[in-house]
A = this chain, B = another copy of it.
Amino acid sequence: MKRTKIKALLATEPTGQTVLAQGWVRTFRNNQFIALNDGSTINNIQAVVTLNSLDDTILKRITTGACLSITGELIPSPAKGQSVELKVTALEILGDSDAEKFPLQPKKHSLEFLREIAHLRSRTNTFGAVMRMRHAMAFAVHQFFHERGFFYIHTPIVTGSDAEGAGAMFRVTTLDANKPPRDEQGNVNFKEDFFGRETNLTVSGQLEGETYALALGDIYTFGPTFRAENSNTTRHLAEFWMIEPEMAFFDLQDNMQLAEEFLQYLVRYALQHCADDLEFLHKRAQEEEATKPQEQRSELGLLDRLRFVADNDFQRLSYTEAIDILKNSNPNKKKKFQYLVEEWGVDLQSEHERFLVEKHFKKPVILYNYPKDIKAFYMRQNEDGKTVAAMDVLFPGIGEIIGGSQREERYERLLNRIHEMHLPEKDLWWYLDLRKFGSAPHAGFGLGFERLMLFVTGMTNIRDVIAYPRYPGNAEF
């Protein structure tokens, strides 16, 4: 007999039919009621053992965490909160779980503790819900782009170019660490390394993505990216997944429009397809909120925040307009901001972004046309000579969730900027080629997948929305 997943069993009309369920014991009460979970849904099925039908030796092995194979009759349940239950006719222990040693006791564990047993935390309600939602969001990303005729491109992970300059990088090497080959000057000779040069882990697939946008039209990447920054925060990972669409013939307006549609699509998908997990995470976040001082609590619950993003247009305004608002804002005048906003040209801090989103507009905000001096070399220079066609999407509680721009498609302008910023022109020959041969206006953006996951799950530490987080000092598992 084939097993039926518990998600399907719970949605089945119970007529006393014989079914096979397999999963892990969450709780076992009164030597009679087994709450069984198989990960297909956050909901358990209740399996009811007829009293005295099982040997004591078996009963003792039905412990939290044990893996069972249960044949039973699917019947209507008299208990509250469940429509069906399983009347056990045969029960097999597939895998024991020593109740004294199993690290996941049927109680609340701290997220910090669960990170240390990341190989088991996926068996908890919280991490089951988070990881099922992560799947749903990843699938929605692919579906969104596929429906619109975008092509998924795998840009390289190991790269010889640090063109973007987006951050510190990890070196990838096969040279003997203790005794690397050296050149005549005594420096490590990377010509003898695996790739014949010094190579690093990619910080972004954008530049390579552009080469494909200028061939196939609309493309996107979805892959791991890396930053070797010594950031021990709840917002940073050394290894994280990015989604980077790039569209030929798009200008900044088109880019903002797509970013907004994309985020709303993802949030609506979550609301439609992850109702059970979201309900659990909503309550979980509520309980967490309740432990905070009043003034730090969010005004909206998780589900409210998601509906709010799904249902409301994003506020679009220029950097210059934002600076005016911030300059004249109460926290600025009353010197409540840590960084006071005094003049045009400064980079915005998280406190400023959150003020705009959470206090001033009370909705997601898209800022555009940033000062060129605080943005990357490849962004399209506006005619004012001061700004570039950049955009950032700011979300409540998260801050920047998307960053993007129209790209500089004019060869001379791009080359000048490369020179001004002292970037290695020779490493960018292929990127410059795109502007030499059939250049086209184009634009794109990047979404940090884990930032999205924080938003849709209500989790507050980025280490808790990825299976095995990588951060300074940690590469366990």
A-side residues, CB < 8 A to B, are 3, 5, 7, 22-25, 38-40, 65-67, 69, 94-98, 101-103, 117-120, 122-123, 127-128, 131-132, 134-135, 138-139, 142, 146, 149-161, 168, 170-175, 177-178, 180, 186-188, 190, 194-199, 201, 208, 211-212, 214-217, 223-224, 226, 228, 230, 238-239, 241, 248-249, 409, 430-431, 433-441, 466-468, 470, 472-477
A138 contacts B152, CB within 8 Å?
yes
- Find A171's partner among B127, B173, B409 (CB 8 Å cutoff): B173
Task: Write the chain B residue with the least CB distance to A151.
Answer: B135
B158 contacts A238, CB within 8 Å?
yes
Known: A39-B216, A102-B437. A172 touches B171 (CB 8 A): yes
A475 contacts B199, CB within 8 Å?
yes
Residues of B within 8 A of A119 (CB): 208, 211, 430-431, 433-434
Cα(A155)–Cα(B142), bound, Å: 18
Task: Write the chain B residue with the least CB distance to A466.
Answer: B154
Cα(A8)–Cα(B241), bound, Å: 32
Residues of B within 8 A of A102 (CB): 437-438
Residues of B within 8 A of A152 (CB): 134-135, 138-139
Residues of B within 8 A of A23 (CB): 217
In the assembled complex, the CB of A119 is this many whole angstroms from the nearest CB of chain B, namely 4
Cα(A122)–Cα(B5), bound, Å: 43
In the assembled complex, the CB of A356 is this many whole angstroms from the nearest CB of chain B, namely 30
Task: Write the chain B residue with the least CB distance to A476.
Answer: B160
Cα(A437)–Cα(B99), bound, Å: 9
A122 contacts B40, CB within 8 Å?
no
A153 contacts B238, CB within 8 Å?
no
Task: Write the chain B residue with the least CB distance to A217.
Answer: B39
Cα(A249)–Cα(B40), bound, Å: 13
- Find A248's partner among B22, B139, B223, B474 (CB 8 Å cutoff): B22
Residues of B within 8 A of A188 (CB): 177-178
Residues of B within 8 A of A157 (CB): 157, 201, 224, 226, 239
Residues of B within 8 A of A7 (CB): 149
B149 contacts A436, CB within 8 Å?
no
B5 contacts A95, CB within 8 Å?
no
Task: Write the chain B residue with the least CB distance to A177.
Answer: B188
Residues of B within 8 A of A470 (CB): 156, 158, 195
Cα(A214)–Cα(B102), bound, Å: 15
B217 contacts A249, CB within 8 Å?
no
Residues of B within 8 A of A123 (CB): 214-215, 438
Residues of B within 8 A of A468 (CB): 155-156, 208
Residues of B within 8 A of A211 (CB): 118-120, 122, 477
Cα(A414)–Cα(B120), bound, Å: 19
Residues of B within 8 A of A178 (CB): 186-188
Residues of B within 8 A of A160 (CB): 475-477
Cα(A211)–Cα(B223), bound, Å: 21
- Find A177's partner among B171, B215, B437 (CB 8 Å cutoff): B171
Residues of B within 8 A of A238 (CB): 158, 194-195
In the assembled complex, the CB of A3 is this many whole angstroms from the nearest CB of chain B, namely 6
Residues of B within 8 A of A226 (CB): 157-158
Task: Write the chain B residue with the least CB distance to A473.
Answer: B196
In the assembled complex, the CB of A172 is this many whole angstroms from the nearest CB of chain B, namely 5
Residues of B within 8 A of A194 (CB): 170, 228, 230, 238, 472
B153 contacts A467, CB within 8 Å?
yes
